[in-house]
Amino acid sequence: MTQIKNIGLYTSGGDAPGMNAAIRAVVRTALYYDIAVTGIIRGYEGMIRGDFVPMHRKSVSNIVQRGGTILKTARSEQFKTAEGRKIAYENLKKNNIDALIAIGGDGTFTGAKIFGQEFDIPVLGLPGTIDNDLAGTDFTIGYDTAINTVVDAVDKIRDTAESHDRLFIVEVMGRDSGLIALRTGIAAGAEAILIPENKTGMAGLFDRLENGRKDKTSRIIIAAEGDDAGGAFEIGRIITEKFPHYDTRVSILGHIQRGGKPTCMDRVLASRVGVAAVEALRDGRSGEMVGVIHNEISYTPFDHAIKHSHEINAKFLKIVEILSL
């Protein structure tokens, strides 16, 4: 059992629903094991500025249901320099912080990895990002909420699409990954999904629009923002040109996808990995992300966690095709 006395806790990168549930879990678990927790405000930037607040049991009361992150988040250019990280480390020392838990995604863990290698401080990570683009966990904290937000929005858009016989292109988040588009496309009954991992999406869509059923009057297409076709407006332009008889509209869901009350599953996931991270620090673990794979807690080296595969379950694409018959 490693003697940890004071965990520095921070969120970094894009905010995700469930981050607060994870913060609560870390704080309460640490206190349960008589470990103090220091909140680091605005991630690496706060570490450099020494923006620290002690976390008590009540600091995390009534936050399990709130979106965003009470510890705030920010970019830090300075932390990318060796000098910046040195200042950060000295601030931690000064405040007797002897371990770190980082909640975030790729960028967060890249920073955590380097920092843990350069300095003698154990660091663990929790997967907090709506993108679900990390290896080492079946789902990331925030993904389940984000896909429900998308599906709710598309349900609303479909009301209009059906009333007006329109074709809608709905752009969802996912710069490098179609994971949000894929599940929401199935759930929302989309005609087609366009994702960066599938290079033939537009061709397939054109084929459907040309040769598909003529009696279908409204259609929803889900496009990940990172799709090769160049964004929803460009896709809309092309479709309008090629299929002028469709009344084509574009909707970019944008920032609403990051916020909102976390779903039950996101809160449970956040709570589980939050508890496990504190226990893992006590067990002497470091340099890993704590996730859940097949319903069991798993530990994945940062290096591996950020190299998520871009492989897409081909069966999911097939399902979209079959069900939008």
Among residues 248, 244, 253, 181, the alpha carbon closest in space to that of 219 is found at 248
In the complex, minimum distance from the CB of residue 72 to a second copy, in angstroms, rounded to a whole number: 6
Residues in the interface with a second copy (CB under 8 A) total 79
Closest to 5 in 3D by CA, of 86, 113, 100, 125:
100
| CB nearer a second copy, residue 228 or residue 231 | 231
211 near a second copy, judged by CB under 8 A: no
Determine, following the binding rule CB under 8 A, whether residue 219 of this chain makes contact with a second copy.
Answer: no
Region of 87-95, 145-153, 201-209, 304-312 interacting with a second copy (CB under 8 A)? 145-153
For residue 251, state whether it binds a second copy (rule: CB under 8 A): yes
H or E element, residue 315 = helix 314-323
Token pair for 213: 């059923």
Question: Rounded to an integer, what distance in angstroms lies between the CA atom of residue 283 and that of residue 146?
Answer: 33
Contacting a second copy (CB under 8 A), which of 179, 192, 195, 275? 275
Residue 121 binds to a second copy (criterion: CB under 8 A): no
Segment interacting with a second copy, rule: CB under 8 A, options 83-91, 96-104, 181-189, 281-289: 181-189
C-beta of 71 vs 97, nearer to a second copy: 71
Minimal distance, residue 139 CB to a second copy, in Å: 10
| Given the residues 51, 131, 227, 266, the one annotated as active site | 131
Please name the amino acid found at residue 138. D
User: Which residue in the block uniquely carries the two structure tokens 């890249």?
Assistant: 110
Question: Does the annotation mark 131 as catalytic?
Answer: yes
- Residue 52 parent element (H or E): strand 52-55
What's the rounded Cα separation, in Å, for the pair 79 and 284? 25
For residue 175, state whether it binds a second copy (rule: CB under 8 A).
no
The one among 85, 113, 183, 219 contacting a second copy by CB under 8 A: 183
User: Do residues 27 and 9 make contact, with C-beta atoms less than 8 angstroms apart?
Assistant: yes
CA angle 108, 74, 128 (to 5 degrees): 40
Q: How many Cα atoms occupy the beta-carbon half-sphere of 274 within 13 Å?
A: 30
User: 204 vs 260, which CB is nearer to a second copy?
Assistant: 260
| Catalytic residue positions, numbered | 131
